[in-house]
Structure 1
Amino acid sequence: MRRRIVSLWFPRLASERALRGRPVEAPFALTLRDNNTERLYCLNPVAEAAGLHRGMGYADARAFCPELQSRPADPRGDRRFLRILRRWATRYCPWVGPEGADGLVLDITGSAHLFGGEPEMLGDMRARLTRSGLTVRAGLADTRGAAWALARFGEGIAAPGDAAARIGALPVAALRLGDNACTTLGRLGLRSIADLAAAPRAPLARRVGPEVLLRLDQALGARPEQVSPRSDPPRHAVRMTLPEPIGHSADVMAGTERLLARLCARLEDREAGARELLLTLRRVDQASQQVELRLARPLRDAHRILPLFERGVAEVDAGYGIDQLRLEATRVEPLPARQATHAGAARSDGLDDLITRIGTRIGLENVIRFLPADSHIPERSFLIAPAAWTSAETGWVGRHPRPLRLFPPEPIAGTGPRPPDRFRWRGMALTAAAATGPERIAPEWWLEDENWRRGLRDYWQVETRQGRRLWLFHTPQDPGWFVQGEFA
């Protein structure tokens, strides 16, 4: 059986995806920064009709077309949307793969008759995609290269065995060649695929390299080219349909417990853990209630996860009853098996569960912790980071203790290199009882810091008779005393 390949090209994929929710009738373009310059990334037909083109500078485009509307491009969202289209295209055949950033390639060998033939299949593809608001151009041929050429330069169907004649009049750029190769071939007078196929191969290979002949042979079928479909990532979801509706929180929790046991077993087989879980409760009136749980650490322990659902389940409106439960791990991370030890495991698990409980109320990103930083400057010796996405496996390494409270330096009266015996700070009269130091800290000369312009600092730990334990420093090059911290 002769192979049959379909190439689908979406010339305005990015702009049409952006306009699906908020259509615009005026000239519209997506912009993307390239080498510190905003350039047009994808345009709608109105903008193209106004003379704008892809790669044009945004400032030039606005000067040329003042009514141009724009939004920032989202290449990551475009890739995600293309993956959705790839999944949709599997309704026509199982072998579907991406073709660059704006196309798909399908191996429909043996499946066209299920849709009434090849023209009918392509017609069905175009109709469905057009109803979805997408512009598509399709090509069908015996080879992947010929189908690509037809989709982008000819659009049509090449009969079996007729690919060479069908694409012969197309320009050499239809062979998926770069701009440099096309320019070189044009200087040699080879402007069409037919001209290139008739040229002597040995001199041509020496002049333009082997890639041109490889692409030509792939398009004409002399060399094979596979369609490599991408498998969908595994979906970690379980579902339970109930014979009778339920409405009590205890019943929902009991069903959730069964689903968690099944889901965690699947995660354990893949050595993975869930970071985000979504519990969907379908009511008898077909409305749905959702309970989302974001975990501070990847987990696959059903006994630890189940209590974390209690607060969300208690707030669910069951209506006339819930007849289906669906639990999905929407975000999964690797969680390989670890050797159990007697030290610290229980404390770590309890802290992670506490962070999760607090995070469900105020958001995980709002639960923060201090982490050590590689700097001897007190103000730079720590970092503030969300606790759910960081771990405090190592503590601060230093020979001298640091105060629990650190604040901007506050001047006090004092003279000499040793701490003053009596001084006033924040309206309090304090008397020094003991002093430990000095610890000299030099500024980091490679960084610009206004607070360290005065140079060296000699730090002292001062215990006062009033019970305050303060962290003072003296600047020898510009004599002065300051309080910067307080010990617990």
Structure 2
Amino acid sequence: MFDGMPRRVVSLWFPRLASDRALRLRPVDGPFALTFKHSNANRLYCLNREAEQSGLHRGMSYADARAFCPGLHSRPATPDGDRRFLHILRRWATRYCPWVGLEGDDGLVLNITGSAHLLGGEDALMADLRDRLTRAGFTVQAGLADTRGAAWALARHGEGVAPIGEALTALAKLPVAALRLDDDTSVALQRLGIRSIGDLAAARRAPLARRFGPGLLMRLDQALGAQPEDISPLPDPPHYGVRMTLPEPIGLLADVMEGTRRLLDQLCGKMKTHEVGARQLCVTLRRLDQDHQQVELRLARPLRDPHRILPLFERGLAEVEAGFGIDQLRLEATQVDPLPVQQISHAAHRDKDQLDDLVSRLGTRIGLENIHRFLPADSHIPERSFIIAPAAYSDPERGWSRPRPRPLCLFPPEPIAGTGPQPPARFRWRRMSLTTGRAAGPERIAPEWWLEDDNWRSGLRDYWRVETTQGRRLWLFFTPQAPGWFVQGEFA
């Protein structure tokens, strides 16, 4: 990469990454720890410095930790959020060099070969790096050496700088665990009297290879530079955007739609390669006067079929003011979701595709967040037997498992006049005089005692389906513990 230039690698270790991130969001004073549930017990996941000084450690039972430190503050750990934040730190670290990779779940590795002079040298680079991370509230340990293995060892066991060509001198006094060895190998080496990297480098290689295999010597050679070890930076995420510059300006809707179709073909081909689908698209149209107009489209489902997406753009593109003409079109998928390739039947998915397209069309007019669907819920209480979910972010249920029919229209119970456990022959409801023609029931529903609901504190309810001679089909219930009749729903 850089001919004649010695390779220099920086390793960064964030020993309290999770707790530092949590405290940046909501600071607290005193001992603090994140907890996770393991084997039906809460244990400490990551601690701040005050908690460690109180004698707490990772993996400790949360109950024991509270006994040792009654003033301990805690929150649940979110490992997924920590991983995402580490990726954010990786992007931030590219300010020092273009080659930045991840080092486990709590570290970064930087190849600063040829980059240090841009910040005034290695010492200035390391000082600036530590200063920025410390001011941001992170605990960091850094190591600089010729190899990735040596930098890793210094960051986690020495925190220092190994001069060029002097890796062994810098690592000689560090424990053998600094070579990224597993615990069993480290313990076995210590039992043989090999406690430091210097002892390991001075030992005979053949007996070590026979006893521990080639992995031990490979780690030693990688740290000392005898074997190469690459630093693989994470690839940049794919950019789902295409553009078209026109030789002559256009203004007709048909021409704009044709240009959008060609861009959709390119974009959908790229999304198919990465097995993703667009949830939100944006067309930017540049006019001759350098003004820009945008048309956004939100889809009910991830989609990469240009023939289904193009008609959804027509309404928005028809409202564009072309002015003296449009000379550039740009199409970008601003939000994508995974859409793996599946073996599907056209007949089985045709109805679902039509429903998704309908939701998308309605969403362009009134907003996807205003379109909802009812989904079944696990409760026998009528008011709790369903939930309302956004149609664009939920799947319809094939069927509702109900042993008894339920009314389509539910409302708060409305009292009516009646006595006895049988439905009243005549009653008045909503200023209407109704006569019972046929009744089916009762269906007894008991309260869910584990939930607090003021509407159900009165106790049991006996529900009846009542068809009146006037054509109303009502859902009535009787409360035996406090005799009374109520109407709660109406069948369609």
TM over 0.5: yes
User: 1:339, CA displacement in angstroms?
Assistant: 3.7
Match of 1:438 in 2: 442
Structure 1 counterpart of 2:306, one-letter code: A
Q: Structure 1, residues 370-429: CA drift from partner, whole Å, max 9, x if none?
A: 012233322222121110111214121224221011122222222212101122333433
Match of 1:99 in 2: 103
User: 1:482, CA displacement in angstroms?
Assistant: 1.7
User: 1:123, CA displacement in angstroms?
Assistant: 5.7
For 2:321 and 2:44, locate their aligned partners in 1 and report how far apart those are by CA, in whole Å: 48
For 1:287 and 1:103, locate their aligned partners in 2 and report how far apart those are by CA, in whole Å: 45
For 1:116 and 1:298, locate their aligned partners in 2 and report how far apart those are by CA, in whole Å: 42
8 A contact 1:275–1:333 mirrored in 2: no
SS in 1 for 2:261: helix
Structure 1 counterpart of 2:10, one-letter code: S
8 A contact 1:298–1:335 mirrored in 2: no
Match of 2:474 in 1: 470
Match of 2:209 in 1: none
SS in 1 for 2:338: strand
Structure 2 counterpart of 1:387, one-letter code: A
Match of 1:382 in 2: 386
Match of 1:484 in 2: 488
Q: Which runs of 5+ in 2 are unaligned?
A: 23-27, 37-41, 50-56, 58-70, 72-77, 135-139, 206-214
Change (3 A) 1:221 1:154: same
8 A contact 1:473–1:482 mirrored in 2: yes
When the two chains are superposed, the root-mean-square deviation of aligned CA atoms in Å is 5.7
For 1:339 and 1:387, locate their aligned partners in 2 and report how far apart those are by CA, in whole Å: 22
Match of 2:89 in 1: 82
Match of 1:408 in 2: 412
Q: Structure 1, residues 6-41: CA drift from partner, whole Å, max 9, x if none?
A: 1253879999999xxxxxxxx999x98657999999
Change (3 A) 1:377 1:446: same
**262-271 or 374-383, which deviates more:** 262-271
After superposition, where does 1:331-342 map in structure 2 within 5 Å?
331-342=336-347
Q: Structure 1, residues 80-117: CA drift from partner, whole Å, max 9, x if none?
A: 4235347777845xxx4212456432467xxx5xx499
Q: Tell me, yes or no, if structure 1 residue 263 matches structure 2 residue 267.
A: yes
Structure 1 counterpart of 2:430, one-letter code: R
Match of 2:146 in 1: 141
Please point out which of 304, 307, 314 is paired with 1:303.
307
Match of 1:59 in 2: none
User: 1:472, CA displacement in angstroms?
Assistant: 0.5
After superposition, where does 1:180-259 map in structure 2 within 5 Å?
219-220=223-224, 227-247=231-251, 249-259=253-263
Q: Structure 1, residues 437-480: CA drift from partner, whole Å, max 9, x if none?
A: 22233444554544334443221111223332110112334432
User: 1:75, CA displacement in angstroms?
Assistant: 3.9
Q: Structure 1, residues 205-249: CA drift from partner, whole Å, max 9, x if none?
A: xxxxxx999977764468876545434444433222223444555
Match of 1:6 in 2: 9
Structure 1 counterpart of 2:163, one-letter code: A
After superposition, where does 1:11-90 map in structure 2 within 5 Å?
34=35, 75=82, 78-85=85-92
User: 1:141, CA displacement in angstroms?
Assistant: 1.3
8 A contact 1:5–1:107 mirrored in 2: yes
Structure 2 counterpart of 1:167, one-letter code: L
For 1:317 and 1:218, locate their aligned partners in 2 and report how far apart those are by CA, in whole Å: 63
Change (3 A) 1:445 1:15: closer
8 A contact 1:97–1:106 mirrored in 2: yes
SS in 2 for 1:473: strand
Structure 2 counterpart of 1:419, one-letter code: P
Q: Which runs of 5+ in 1 are unaligned?
A: 19-26, 44-54, 56-62, 64-71, 202-210
User: 1:348, CA displacement in angstroms?
Assistant: 3.0
For 1:171 and 1:422, locate their aligned partners in 2 and report how far apart those are by CA, in whole Å: 91
SS in 2 for 1:256: helix
For 1:419 and 1:355, locate their aligned partners in 2 and report how far apart those are by CA, in whole Å: 43
For 2:12 and 2:465, locate their aligned partners in 1 and report how far apart those are by CA, in whole Å: 71
User: 1:434, CA displacement in angstroms?
Assistant: 1.8
Instruction: Report % sequence identity.
Output: 59
Structure 2 counterpart of 1:306, one-letter code: L
Change (3 A) 1:149 1:284: farther
Structure 2 counterpart of 1:79, one-letter code: L
8 A contact 1:122–1:138 mirrored in 2: no
8 A contact 1:13–1:78 mirrored in 2: no
8 A contact 1:14–1:78 mirrored in 2: no
User: 1:260, CA displacement in angstroms?
Assistant: 0.7
Please point out which of 418, 421, 430 is paired with 1:426.
430
Q: Tell me, yes or no, if structure 1 residue 158 matches structure 2 residue 152.
A: no
8 A contact 1:279–1:328 mirrored in 2: yes
